[in-house]
Structures are given as C-alpha cells and as structure tokens.
Chains A and B, each alone.
Chain A
Amino acid sequence: KQEVTQIPAALSVPEGENLVLNCSFTDSAIYNLQWFRQDPGKGLTSLLLIQSSQREQTSGRLNASLDKSSGRSTLYIAASQPGDSATYLCARNTGGFKTIFGAGTRLFVKA
C-alpha cells in the first residue's frame, strides 16, 4: 500500500525558531513531491514541488529536500513567524493521475 506519513502531527514553536517538518513515503517510485499549506477553512496552496531528478527546492524562507533512496522529504522553515501557523501537507505523485497525501503537520508559531 502506498502511504505518506508526516511527523509530528502537531508542533508549537516560539517565533524566530528554525524548524523542520518531516514526510516519509513507502515505495521509492516517485514523479514529484509537493508541499502544501492549508489555512483553516481554506483549500491547499502549493508551496514547493520537487521533481524526481531534483534534491531540493527553495522559496524564500522555505527549503524542501527529497531523498528518494530513504523515502524521505523535509520542509525547513527558517526564522518562523506567527503568519506561518497553518497545516502543512506533503504529497507524493507517482506519475499519471495519482497523488497520495499525508495527514499533515499542524504548526503553531507563538508570538
């Protein structure tokens, strides 16, 4: 069974802290790995997409890495801010039409 697991399920940090969110997946077959942000009552917004041939992607304070051999991806958030508080989901695409989602990590950044 293809699964995507995110640890921790919830995380609370003080403002300014650097943090890492983890995503692991079974089966190394991967087309791309995406990280999404979801605010309460809203849809998912794509943050970063790492193609199978890439090791990492960066956007502002966000850096996502991909290690296919170990079945892991991490999302690094630098200098966290209260506005970063949201649920972060990773999703694995194996090509074609199927994207498998993790349950998400709920992040709370305290001012």
Chain B
Amino acid sequence: NAGVTQTPKFRILKIGQSMTLQCTQDMNHNYMYWYRQDPGMGLKLIYYSVGAGITDKGEVPNGYNVSRSTTEDFPLRLELAAPSQTSVYFCASIETGTNSPLHFGNGTRLTVT
C-alpha cells in the first residue's frame, strides 16, 4: 500500500493563478480531509468528504474548492491564489466506524507571491 499520496511536493504560484493539489489513497477509506498548516499553528481543516460525491466545508474553506468523484481521489482546487494561501497542505484519510488513526500524505508546500 502506498497510503496517501500527494502531488506536487512544492509549487510557487503568482497571485491570481490557479492550481489543483492532488490527493489519492489506496486504503479504500471513505473519509478524506484537506488541512493547511501554518508555522507555529495547528492544522486547520479546509474541506472534508465522507464518501464519493459528498463534500463539506471545514474551518477555513474560503478560496478553495474540492470534488470527490471516486473513493480514491480528493483534489483541492485554488482558483485565484492569494499570498494568504501560502502554507503547507496536507491530505489525510481515515477508516470510518472504528477508532483508527488518521493517515497523512507528505504534504504540498505552496508559496504564492
């Protein structure tokens, strides 16, 4: 099992550009999450999904969009990049209905200038 895979690892965007952060998992987990981590802060939830076709907003959804067309993939879309979106983005998944730990990808480090 590869677990949770995120691409790209690094990206630099100019203000106003758009991009998609990719996330895929091969553990057949229904619940998937997108978090952002800013220096010295805990992880903040952006969006989550409880299954294919179902998504919902987390704490900090403004400026982002997601889709969940399959169980495996949960891409995060930035439409008009802003400097405030400079952060490290983590995708995670969990096996539902059990006391199981979150599984994280290695993150995407995004800089918006």
If A44-B104, A45-B104 touch, whether A32 touches B99 (CB-CB below 8 Å) is yes
Q: How far is the CA of A17 from the CA of B107 in the complex (A)?
A: 32
In the assembled complex, which residues on chain B have CB atoms less than 8 Å from the CB atom of A102?
42
Residues from 35 to 61 in B contacting A, C-beta threshold 8 Å: 35, 40-43, 45, 48, 50
Task: Give the A interface residue count (CB, 8 A).
Answer: 24
Q: How far, in Å, is B102 (CB) from chain A's closest CB? A: 6
Interface of A is mostly: strand
Instruction: Please judge, given known A-B contacts A32-B99, A51-B99, whether A43 and B107 are in contact too, CB under 8 Å.
Output: yes
Query: In residues 77-103 of chain A, which contact B (Cβ within 8 Å)?
Result: 89, 91, 97-103
Instruction: State whether the Cβ of A107 lies closer than 8 Å to any Cβ in chain B.
Output: no
CA distance A89 to B35 in the complex (A): 14
Interface on B for A, CB 8 Å cutoff?
4, 31, 33, 35, 40-43, 45, 48, 50, 90, 92, 99-107, 109
